[in-house]
Amino acid sequence: MKVKLFDESHELDLEKSINNFLKEKDIDLLDIKYQVAINVCGEEQIYCFSAMIIYR
């Protein structure tokens, strides 16, 4: 069993990274864990979109 971690600042970038990984690899996909974190710094909101792919 293996894992691959992805971390992007925009959800579309995360989607693209995951799709590219799945397209390039011939894997047995077991699960995908998804998470969003939000941080407020002054007036700015900072988002972190991450995912972990569990595969064989």
**What's the pLDDT tens digit per position in 10-52?**
999 999 999 999 999 899 999 999 999 999 989 999 999 999 9
pLDDT of 34 reads 97
2-55 sits in which CATH class?
alpha beta
How remote is the C-alpha of 50 from its chain's centroid? 4
d(CA 40, CA 4): 28
What is the Cβ-side half-sphere exposure of residue 9, based on CA atoms within 13 angstroms? 3
pTM for this entry? 0.84
